[in-house]
A = this chain, B = another copy of it.
Amino acid sequence: MSLKIALAQIHFSVGDINANLDRIVNAACHARDHLGAAMIVFPELTVTGYPAEDLLLRSDFIVVANNALYQLLDRVSDIALVIGFPEQDGEQLYNSAAVLHQGAMIACYRKQILPNYGVFDEQRYFRAGHQPCIFEFNGCFMGLTICEDVWQPSILAANKEAGAEIVLTLNASPFNVGKISQREAIICQHVQEAQLPLIYVNQVGGQDELIFDGASFVADAQGDIVFRAIEFQEQISVVEFHHGQPVKADCAPLLTDIVAVYQALVLGIKEYVRKNGFQGALLGLSGGIDSALVLALAVDALGADKVEAVLMPSRYTQAMSIDDAIQQAVALGVTHHCISIEPAVTAFNDLLADVFVGQGKDTTEENIQARCRGVILMAISNKQGKLLLTTGNKSEMSVGYATLYGDMAGGFAPIKDVPKLLVYQLARYRNSLSPVIPDRVLTRPPSAELAPDQVDADSLPPYEILDPILERYIEQDQSAEQIIAAGFSAADVARAISLVDRNEYKRRQSPPGIRISTRAFGRDRRYPITSGYRGICKSS
């Protein structure tokens, strides 16, 4: 008894049901005709893409998504399709998986565990199902599960008890650093406990802030991985089962964390530009490390011919910044422009002189410089239909060390969730492949260059101290006391978290960026702007 099952680790487009149907049909025909598969398993909510967010509240959208199943019944034969769709039943909506075969739906399962934490809002849209779904295919009893289900041991155990011999899992499991090994460890533990081979199909691609890494896999009844698809790439693969046991196949190696993050960022840029129909991307290249990394990422994602760099020096820009920026633009072969912001800055300072009479200089004047750069970059973006990439990192976003409508301007912020120290690591990794970022950019002290001889360390603790404090406060929800107890100075902790607390208003207007941590700014972290919470609520 042999059975070949295909894993469709492919891109889907949120909201574009017709395009997704075409992708399903093409993948199924390929799996049937070229891979000899009798069944193909797709990711979670295949038909609508994931996450479709509040599109799921539109009845027109849901009607089309449900009708799509009937179209698929007609369009593909001689292979079973296991697809995800939002199932309407009366007033209720379920996150469901259907098995379509020879013109009939032979099984339909409703997801039981609906995540409603982090970036997930599934209880906003769906009711939970309450039972396993086992169906027979080619003499084998198979159970259906969806994503969060298999992170709980109880669901696999219930499948086993209900008679399943193989479990199929449809997923849309987003990436963060360390996620792939965590996912495999937890799920394979449950597989081992239930003694039930499992096929795990994850989508791949970028959707706004989320990256789906793929890394689909098959585990045998002992919980050992017998197949793993490549991370961050489309791949339709097939695994053979003999008497219900999977035959060992190719296992793509797990990437290291740095390589995985780099590839996630490249994929995120590529997908956002492609899916939103931009002609390419541009960015302000300052000679600093952040824009240097974003330029390298953009070129790796889109190709040098699609990327433009804009240098915008002021009186405070050091010569080495310009030299290094030009050197990198030339090394990567991208078009670059050099536009001094001085005439615009002078115009604004003159226009405001009467209103500001008698008042000294402060960050207002620094912000004007940053905002003049924002106007220039947005103008080029508007004129050329290119996406403006914002180059700020997570450390800056955390403490508000950025100018709203200035360096924060842009449509997409690739390294918004990357702390400064990780920016350096990623830049060094990229240079290890080929040297594109000048050494001096990696070694000089970081500076915003908005005032004479300014460096970040003037107003912030060193990043070696700041970054771990931020990670503890933002990602781990540690209190100030806990962070101090871990060995950080009370002054540094108070400074860092007070800046985080006060700058929610800036983050609320920041462009979306790629999530690589367990808590990115965006859907993942929903803080009030108006808030009396100040790091520590003293219990008086």
* A-to-B contact residues, CB < 8 Å: 13-19, 49, 51-55, 57-61, 63-65, 67-68, 71, 116-117, 121, 123-124, 206-208, 271-272, 275-276, 337, 339-341, 343-344, 346-348, 350-352, 354-356, 359, 362-364, 367-368, 371-372, 374-376, 378-380, 382-383, 404-405, 409, 411, 477, 479-482, 505, 508-512, 523, 525-534, 536-540
A348 touching B276, Cβ below 8 Å: no
B355 touching A337, Cβ below 8 Å: yes
Once bound together, how far apart are the Cα atoms of A527 and B125, in whole Å? 13
B351 touching A344, Cβ below 8 Å: yes
Q: Of B19, B116, B348, which contacts A379 at CB under 8 A?
A: B348
A511 touching B512, Cβ below 8 Å: no
Once bound together, how far apart are the Cα atoms of A232 and B480, in whole Å? 37
24 A-B residue contacts at CB 8 Å? A14-B528, A14-B531, A18-B537, A18-B538, A18-B540, A55-B528, A58-B477, A60-B537, A61-B537, A64-B537, A67-B539, A121-B526, A207-B530, A271-B530, A275-B530, A343-B347, A344-B344, A344-B347, A348-B379, A355-B383, A362-B383, A371-B375, A405-B405, A509-B510
A352 touching B339, Cβ below 8 Å: yes
Among residues of B, the one whose C-beta sits closest to the C-beta of A344 is B347
Count of this chain's copies in the oligomeric assembly: 2
- Known pairs A343-B347, A509-B511, A512-B508; A477 contacts B539 (CB<8 A): no
A276 touching B530, Cβ below 8 Å: yes
Q: Of B59, B71, B123, B352, which contacts A540 at CB under 8 A?
A: B71
Q: Of B52, B57, B61, B537, which contacts A17 at CB under 8 A?
A: B537
- Known pairs A348-B375, A526-B54; A64 contacts B539 (CB<8 A): yes
Among residues of B, the one whose C-beta sits closest to the C-beta of A70 is B539
Nearest-neighbour CB distance to chain B for A340, whole angstroms, equals 7
Residues of B within 8 A of A380 (CB): 352, 355
Residues of B within 8 A of A409 (CB): 404-405
Q: Of B59, B276, B355, B382, which contacts A479 at CB under 8 A?
A: B59
Nearest-neighbour CB distance to chain B for A226, whole angstroms, equals 34
Residues of B within 8 A of A374 (CB): 371, 405
Nearest-neighbour CB distance to chain B for A498, whole angstroms, equals 13
Once bound together, how far apart are the Cα atoms of A350 and B346, in whole Å? 14
Residues of B within 8 A of A538 (CB): 18, 64
Q: Of B61, B68, B121, B531, which contacts A55 at CB under 8 A?
A: B531
User: Which of A58, A354, A359, A510 neighbours the largest number of chain B CB atoms within 10 Å of its CB?
Assistant: A58
Residues of B within 8 A of A276 (CB): 505, 529-530
Residues of B within 8 A of A480 (CB): 60
Residues of B within 8 A of A529 (CB): 208, 276, 512
Nearest-neighbour CB distance to chain B for A92, whole angstroms, equals 14
Q: Of B19, B71, B350, B523, which contacts A532 at CB under 8 A?
A: B19
Nearest-neighbour CB distance to chain B for A116, whole angstroms, equals 5
Once bound together, how far apart are the Cα atoms of A472 and B502, in whole Å? 38
Among residues of B, the one whose C-beta sits closest to the C-beta of A350 is B343
- Known pairs A116-B116, A364-B383, A481-B60; A15 contacts B55 (CB<8 A): no
Once bound together, how far apart are the Cα atoms of A121 and B57, in whole Å? 16
Once bound together, how far apart are the Cα atoms of A13 and B533, in whole Å? 9
Once bound together, how far apart are the Cα atoms of A359 and B380, in whole Å? 11
Residues of B within 8 A of A354 (CB): 337
Top 4 A-B pairs, shortest CB-CB distance: A16-B532, A15-B533, A60-B479, A15-B531
A379 touching B367, Cβ below 8 Å: yes
Once bound together, how far apart are the Cα atoms of A55 and B537, in whole Å? 11
B58 touching A479, Cβ below 8 Å: yes
A404 touching B383, Cβ below 8 Å: no
Residues of B within 8 A of A510 (CB): 509
Nearest-neighbour CB distance to chain B for A488, whole angstroms, equals 16
User: Which of A271, A340, A363, A528 neighbours the largest number of chain B CB atoms within 10 Å of its CB?
Assistant: A528
